[in-house]
Amino acid sequence: MDKKSYLIRAIYDWCIDNDSSPYILSLVEGKTLIPESLSGSKEIVLNLSPQSIQNLYIDEEGISFKGRFNGKLFNIFLPLSSVLGIYAKESGDGIFFNENKKLPPQNRNQNKSKSIEEKSKPHLSIVK
């Protein structure tokens, strides 16, 4: 199970708890469902604050909600694979995803064991 949906939900909840506006950055892909007037760009930033949207749902497939654009209500869907990040508008704090920087599973344990071996032993000295 992918942890991305859990991380998005956690940052969303953190933003709400801290009275911040959660903004989401997403690529506009084939499965992305947004108003046609917004589909001219490769990326989109949307406000996910409860005052701006309704029926927010985050799962392994993506993020869906209802939002108003130019006074009209639209169903929005962002595939999880298209989400680049979620952050607080006021501070910029949040999480950004870069799928290309993941280590292959077979290398994760090797790198971990190397870093443990490379650490030097603790060193104490007397300070007068």
**Each residue of 13-28: pLDDT tens digit?**
999 999 999 999 999 9
pTM exceeds 0.85 for this model: no
**Each residue of 35-51: pLDDT tens digit?**
888 888 899 999 999 99
Domain edges within the chain: 4-99
Q: Tell me the three state secondary structure of residue 107.
A: helix
Looking only at the bridges linking them, the beta strands covering 72-79 and 22-27 are unpaired
Q: Report how far apart, in Å, the C-alpha atoms of 127 and of each of 67, 76, 124 are.
A: 63, 62, 9
CATH number 2.30.30.220 given to 4-99: yes
**Each residue of 72-96: pLDDT tens digit?**
999 999 999 999 999 999 999 999 9
Predicted confidence (pLDDT) at residue 105 exceeds the cutoff of 90: no
Q: How many residues does the chain have?
A: 128
Instruction: Work out the pLDDT band at 107, boundaries 50, 70, 90.
Output: very low
Give the per-residue pLDDT at 40. Answer: 83
